Structure 1
């Protein structure tokens, strides 16, 4: 394994302690379980393990990775493509076009990632040749069970007759592993209780009657200033309600929950990643498995019923041993035993506040992507050739299959749209607009 070459492609200096332990303790002849908190790099850990099993002379699918959410599937796809150069990687998930997926599966991918329901759909219809699959990865397995995917996973694993090993990851320890997972005498690497891996978080409580919760939320956002913040609610309806209230106060934000169409969910996360939006209102769907870097603040507008959910929500901040701040808005009658006893109580009711300003960036879409052989360098060059556009006006760029998204300084957005529409990138005439 050319580890340093892989890390260079990923722009990572070194593996962390957990990832190093995984590589050192892994036994290719045995099943393997990794327990480690959210945000510690489990995806890279199991991706590096696959390096020991992938072979160029096997034409079929060699490894199948089951994940609980579409967003996690897409995130893993990007990591696999950077690590396992030269091997075909395909991602399938609910909400995506099944015809497009079927066409991608005509030539068997070496690595297939998917949500359980969609993988089951393709296996039942023989779109996937599973005869050569030697390694199954059950990523965030506890979350898949929590989401009710046991039946689909049981079916998928029941079809696998030639599995050499199963690799399972979980953010929490499981008291019992279901028989259908077919894990026997595994090697276990457990970082779930490791103090160095746990987020360094300060929890602050705000006691607030129901009628004052929104005002206190706005006060917290005011205190945060430009910090990247996730606001958690328990249900989709609550997310929609809080989003509507924030719109009334002209607080720029995005929302994210399972009731949204997949493109809308992906766009909300993209804008949050590229800093054109610093506030995300969401359900627990965003609590695990997503790559949302540099989140500085978590606000629990509603607290979850279980401690595990509280821990996973907080895991969105203070990732990879950094520190984070957590605010909990409680009604006077509410009592949650899992809250830290030393949590500081803040009194914000009398504080004046100024609503947070917009980010300096906004996101533009471009109607061209990987299928058009367009890459980030092409987009940067295209924008810099426009009048009055400077390098510092251009932020994060993400290139998808058929379109691209670029964060640009808000002050130049209208100028770019006016000038650049119908110009060509790599010989393709493109349309440009604001998301």
Structure 2
């Protein structure tokens, strides 16, 4: 009892201390909690009173004696008021006891109802809050900082991915360099992002403790601690967004440095001296060679990250990367970094730099570690960065690096369904329009190898009222970002892109990837297909294969160890209507291209004439002018008729040729029609379950009912890809073509000899 009374008295004294007006001049204990704890430990019982405060230690200016007396009088008055309130409460309780029993019963029933309501509210709040055990159980084993755990809970990351489980302990707690390889969409960004943030937060905590125990001036902010390099601008911006989301509440700044944006704005961002910089090699080297102070001071760099490293070693690309790597301080095995100019860096920042190299594919030799150990003394070697080994060695990777390869034999996502469509080169447009119109469900990305093919597809699809967005390297950065944002904001959007979009783009809900043209390498095919089936979701990949690309496709299958592929099902009854629409669209596109070309030529001629101060005179005769006007009128009339005809076709749903509006199954039930019936039955069951929803939803048979993945799983045929048979078939075709060419040449020579004989006989 005596201990409880003393504790109450101590707490009352603390409350009076907090209520004083001059307590605002105390140092901020949130930023420096250990200083407050150190002051409290100097007193017995951990309780402070006005007489025990040391002005010199806490830097406080105590008020004058009159102010003290006034405060004590006010506290006494407050004590008297509280005693009067207690007396009033006792009187009220006595009055309540004298009331009738019925009124008491009523009041008790009301109280019970209120308690029940509050209990329900508490249950609702508990249901809304995420279950920590569900979200954090798998993350607790990684021993991350509490602020990072808070961000993980906020972002609803239930458990780490396999690449994160393998990389975070080795990088964050063991301090090792990491070479990681995993399939696309496996969470590689957080695999190197979380160790960076973990080390920065741990060092910050240690800095604060050192400042408290020893009065040292340690500079923990304003230094470049992590440099992350990516091959594309979109990937750099995406990595920046991911790291910013995780770094909320940590006061760690992340800045993107990419091309296509204002250099002055990026220089202003670097003046704020962020800890983490994510950029592309071109713009980074431009600012480094320009003498940017924040990027040149690399003595404090603790992390160097190369994301999508297999793209960095392409021939003829990323020459700036070699210059950036050569600027890094040298690292020697068993010694600290070369920090001659490191005046402001602390002992924590002089630790060995960690190097992370991540890729979707990896190929290392058996003696790779021995090469690292031999080459670590002279980290800067001559030669090109033509392999991941050379890139890792040049970046200063240590011989005890953790090599984590989680790629499977096929390198493709597990839930990805791959398929192909055999068609002629001129029929690719029809097959693409069929897939987008009949199975246009979910987000779709159409990949092309050339920009000319991209423009051709986009113009045709827009004429056919198929809303598409484009993305290629010749677009301005602002237009590229706008196209990605619009595609991301549309549930059934279609993006036609080159291989610029093949790497790094993490857009949720991409259900289908269409390869309009096959890529030049198997790695690009992997990255293209990896835009779907990400983060344990499923997806579909469709390759349009022409006869010329058959051998190339078989070699791709051989590199992936694929013995069979599914053939995407196409209902032949739809194709006449598809070809009719496509023919009209091509005619319209031809007319529009000719008009735009004429305008461009005319404007070019006028522009150049004006630049050299020439006056352009029209020397055309009256007859020529009349003919040109007639041609324009006829072409505009033709264009108008074609557009009207196409609009009348496009306004109706795409239906098979044998479709009967009177008898639905008059032409038989195809697999696609059967799937549509099943989809309608599911929707009907869902509508009956929702009794409150009286709205009816109309579904058009033959359009936008079945997504490509569902159609492929239900009616796709498995075709064995026998590479030997394909090579033999290709060889036979080549021999047949050569024999025909020789026969044609022989016949031509025989006819020529006969002509010569006839001429000689006539003479």
TM over 0.5: same fold?
yes
Change (3 A) 1:35 1:239: same
Counterpart CA distance in 1 for 2:327 and 2:568 is 55
Change (3 A) 1:351 1:204: farther
Secondary structure, aligned partner of 2:541: strand
The Cα offsets for residues 188-209 of structure 1, whole Å up to 9 and x where unpaired, read as: 1111227898242222221111
Counterpart CA distance in 1 for 2:568 and 2:270 is 55
Matched, 1:141 2:309: yes
Counterpart CA distance in 2 for 1:194 and 1:343 is 16
In structure 1, runs of 5+ residues without a counterpart are: 358-435
Matched, 1:74 2:237: yes
Partner residue, 2:396: 182
Report if the CA contact (8 A) 2:444-2:492 is conserved: no
Partner residue, 2:126: none
Change (3 A) 1:220 1:83: same
Partner residue, 1:251: 466
**Aligned with 1:167 (options 341, 353, 356):** 356
1:184 CA displacement: 2.6
Report if the CA contact (8 A) 2:259-2:280 is conserved: yes
**Aligned with 1:52 (options 173, 192, 198):** 198
Matched, 1:11 2:233: no
Secondary structure, aligned partner of 1:319: coil
The Cα offsets for residues 305-347 of structure 1, whole Å up to 9 and x where unpaired, read as: 2221111111111111221111111113421122344222246
Matched, 1:33 2:145: no
In structure 2, runs of 5+ residues without a counterpart are: 1-144, 205-219, 330-336, 338-351, 365-386, 579-649, 653-763
Partner residue, 1:286: 501
Task: Using structure 2 for the length normalisation, give the TM-score.
Answer: 0.45
Change (3 A) 1:269 1:147: farther
Report if the CA contact (8 A) 1:232-1:298 is conserved: yes
Partner residue, 1:299: 514
Report if the CA contact (8 A) 1:40-1:320 is conserved: yes
The correspondence of residues 379-394 of structure 1 with structure 2, limited to 5 A, is none
Secondary structure, aligned partner of 1:351: helix
More helix by share: 2
Q: More deviation in 56-65 or 194-203? A: 194-203
The Cα offsets for residues 157-195 of structure 1, whole Å up to 9 and x where unpaired, read as: 211214611111111103441132222321111112278
Counterpart CA distance in 1 for 2:283 and 2:465 is 39
More strand by share: 1
Counterpart CA distance in 2 for 1:265 and 1:159 is 31
Counterpart CA distance in 1 for 2:154 and 2:517 is 40
The correspondence of residues 229-244 of structure 1 with structure 2, limited to 5 A, is 229-244=444-459
1:30 CA displacement: 2.7
Change (3 A) 1:45 1:197: farther
The correspondence of residues 190-269 of structure 1 with structure 2, limited to 5 A, is 190-193=405-408, 198-269=413-484
Give the number of the structure whose alpha-carbon radius of gyration is greater.
2
Q: More deviation in 141-150 or 318-327? A: 141-150
Secondary structure, aligned partner of 2:573: coil
Report if the CA contact (8 A) 2:440-2:492 is conserved: no
Secondary structure, aligned partner of 1:293: coil
Task: Using structure 1 for the length normalisation, give the TM-score.
Answer: 0.77
Q: More deviation in 54-63 or 299-308? A: 54-63
Counterpart CA distance in 1 for 2:159 and 2:498 is 33
Report if the CA contact (8 A) 1:252-1:277 is conserved: no
Counterpart CA distance in 1 for 2:414 and 2:269 is 39
Change (3 A) 1:276 1:197: closer
Q: More deviation in 269-278 or 182-191? A: 269-278
Counterpart CA distance in 2 for 1:195 and 1:327 is 17
Matched, 1:98 2:263: yes
The Cα offsets for residues 103-143 of structure 1, whole Å up to 9 and x where unpaired, read as: 11112110111101111111122212323112111111111
Count of residues in Structure 1 that have an aligned counterpart in Structure 2: 357
Report if the CA contact (8 A) 1:222-1:356 is conserved: no
**Aligned with 1:331 (options 542, 546, 549):** 546
Report if the CA contact (8 A) 1:228-1:278 is conserved: yes
User: Per chain length, whose mean CA-contact separation is higher, i.e. which structure has more relative contact order (CA < 8 Å, sep 6+)?
Assistant: 1
Secondary structure, aligned partner of 2:564: coil
Report if the CA contact (8 A) 1:226-1:356 is conserved: no
**Aligned with 2:189 (options 43, 49, 63):** 43
RMSD: 2.3
**Aligned with 2:319 (options 118, 133, 151):** 151
Partner residue, 1:342: 564
Report if the CA contact (8 A) 1:191-1:197 is conserved: no
Counterpart CA distance in 2 for 1:109 and 1:132 is 13
Secondary structure, aligned partner of 1:329: strand
Report if the CA contact (8 A) 1:142-1:174 is conserved: no
Counterpart CA distance in 2 for 1:24 and 1:351 is 57
Change (3 A) 1:66 1:28: farther
Q: More deviation in 181-190 or 101-110? A: 181-190
Counterpart CA distance in 2 for 1:159 and 1:346 is 51
Counterpart CA distance in 1 for 2:257 and 2:154 is 24
The Cα offsets for residues 208-254 of structure 1, whole Å up to 9 and x where unpaired, read as: 11222111111111232322111111111211111111111110010
Secondary structure, aligned partner of 2:199: coil
